[in-house]
Structure 1
Amino acid sequence: MSDMTILEQWRSIAYNQNADKNKLQRFWANYFNIEKNIYEQLLENPDEIVSGTVKELAEKYGQDVMTMVGFLDGINDSLKVPNPIETMDEDTKVNLAFDKEALYKNMVDAKADWLYNLPQWDKIFTEEKKKTLYMEQKKSGTVVKPHKVGRNDPCPCGSGKKYKHCCGR
């Protein structure tokens, strides 16, 4: 048995810099399909709290434990109570009680249009609400620089002097 946790094993495969690019691309394409299927099932009944051991959830969704750990890693930031993903093994009790708005925003943030455009979201949020959440998430990553005071501009302190002769010294 390896000294690495299941999460570390998952990450070593998923983010392997030395892996064949085509192989890695196929790995992710396959994973994204699996992820989409699990989210479709979860979003069908978004208020149901799905819980069990990692192994039980893997069986419930027809996946191997390693793939389930990858899924749990991805959804953890959207859960009401995060799972102990860094230390979990296949017998760790986990739950998938997610915050709907946080999950939608995290999908937007990940640029996962195949997830935030799932038809199941239409039963959860109105078109208007989805647009609002989308825009909130997009704006949250935008950095707005404050206006820079020029040397010859009036000083912002209100003295009436030029900035270079007042606070700009």
Structure 2
Amino acid sequence: MKQDLTDQELAELDDLLAAAPAPLQPLDIVMLDGYLCGVLVQPELLDESRWMPPIFDVEQRPLPEDADAQWLERCQALIRRRYEALNRALAEDGGFDPVLLDAESDGEDEEGAEAEPEVPLSEYEQQAIDDAKALQESLPEASRPLMPWVAGFEHAVHSFPGLLDSSDESVDLTLARIFRHLPVQTDEDREMLATLDQELPLADVDEAVDDLIMAVAELWDLTSDQRYAVQQVRRDTPKVGRNDPCPCGSGKKFKQCHGKD
């Protein structure tokens, strides 16, 4: 059985994703973790060929043909291991350990000084960071460390809208418990958030993390019957009788040609 990623491998994967060729905008390690959970709780069992590409660009642009093969192979191997570990944890334990921002660091190093970027940021990149920080600060304190993770989860939900198309009210309510950690966009969202704050208040970050884990596990359970349902085989053409002409065109009866026992 393959092991989950170590802290060192998570940091390595974060660096590898950041090295995606320009102009692609890949997920970081926290968003990736939320995205993978969003993939795993889909009502449809998604093939890797579908869920892997959106990791490397939020706009789902394809990787360039000349992308480094060794870089891509290492990225995919680490991503695959985290995917399998999350799936195993949800199936066997009914929970998982999410990769989240450190709520106490707030972008500072151990001495309390703000970390300096190794490479100067462009005006566009700096503005994007400032905008994201402003959105994060608009959230309740308990939700701030969870926002990037939930943004990754949202990326999966919008990339594969099976959950959004669900008519199950339990799915809608459970999704709301996850999306409460994103900035409010509509009056409907605001009303839902007010209801959640009243009926399911979150006192601190620990409670918020616990509820997030439970909500994802509940979604996994709610969709598991659909996800692993055995699809009935449907024939595109009528079944050939043993005494009918063989479809191969030989002129023989089916039982004397391709229908021989």
Same fold by TM-score greater than 0.5: no
More relative contact order, 1 or 2 (CA 8 Å, 6+ apart): 2
- TM-score, L = length of structure 1: 0.36
